[in-house]
Amino acid sequence: MFGVLAFAERQIVPGKPLRARGLARLIWQMFSVEIHPRTIERALGGKKNRHSGRPSRW
């Protein structure tokens, strides 16, 4: 048995952009688990988060 994250990682095609909305739908169909597309992007490293290691100006 494998988890949702492992399943999501297997759906990634190198050189193609991450399609988080479609992947969220596919995860819902396969696992009956609702995951927000942004959560998928963060988990798979699709986009940088706001805290990139730079010091804050505030």
Q: Per-residue pLDDT for the chain (58 aa), expressed as one digit of tens each?
A: 479 999 999 999 889 888 999 999 999 999 999 999 999 999 998 555 455 556 666 6
Annotate 39-52 with DSSP letters as a single string.
Answer: HHHHHHT-S--S-S
Overall pTM surpassing 0.75 (yes/no):
no
C-alpha 24/C-alpha 1 separation (Å) is: 20
